[in-house]
Amino acid sequence: MIDRAIHQVMPEACDVQRAETLAGTLRLLSQHHFDVALLDRSLPDVVGNSGLQSIQNMAPDLPVVFLTAYKSENAALEAIEQGAQDYLFKDKIDGPAIKRAIQFAIIRKHFESTLQMQANFDPLTGLANRMSFEGRLEMALERMKRREGSIGVLFLDLNRFKPVNDTYGHAMGDRLLVEIGSRIKSCLRPYDAAARFGGDEFAVLIEDIAAPEQCAGIARKMINAIEQPFASSGIDLKVGVSIGVAICGAPLTCGREELIRRADAAMYAAKAMPESACRFWDGSSPVASQALKFETRDKIGLISPMSSGLARHP
Ligand SMILES: [Mg+2]
Cα 62 to Cα 52: distance, rounded to the nearest angstrom: 11
* Structural class in CATH, domain 2-120: alpha beta
- What pLDDT is stored for residue 295 in this prediction? 40
- What pLDDT is stored for residue 291 in this prediction? 40
Give distance in angstroms: CA of 125 to centre of ligand 1. 16
DSSP category for residue 121? B
Catalytic residue (one of 192, 200, 264, 282): 200
200 carries an active-site annotation? yes
Give distance in angstroms: CA of 216 to centre of ligand 1. 20
Give distance in angstroms: CA of 113 to centre of ligand 1. 32
- What pLDDT is stored for residue 48 in this prediction? 74
Query: Do residues 138 and 187 touch, judged by C-beta distance below 8 A?
Result: no
CATH number assigned to the domain covering 130-302: 3.30.70.270
CB within 8 Å of 187: residues ≥ 6 apart: 218, 221, 222, 225
Give distance in angstroms: CA of 137 to centre of ligand 1. 23
pTM (predicted TM-score)? 0.71
Give distance in angstroms: CA of 288 to centre of ligand 1. 25
Parallel/antiparallel/unpaired status of strands 37-40 and 64-68:
parallel
- What pLDDT is stored for residue 125 in this prediction? 96
Nearest residue to 282 via CA among 307, 255, 251: 307
Cα 144 to Cα 151: distance, rounded to the nearest angstrom: 8
Burial class (CB in 10 A: 0-12, 13-18, 19+), 189: exposed
Domain ranges of the chain: 2-120, 130-302
Nearest residue to 265 via CA among 288, 290, 297: 288
CA 30 to chain centre: 22
Block means of pLDDT (10 residues each) for the chain, 314 residues, are: 86 86 94 93 82 91 90 86 92 89 95 92 96 95 84 96 93 96 95 95 93 91 96 91 92 86 93 92 51 38 37 37
- What pLDDT is stored for residue 312 in this prediction? 36
Which amino acid, one-letter code, is at 312? R
- What pLDDT is stored for residue 252 in this prediction? 78
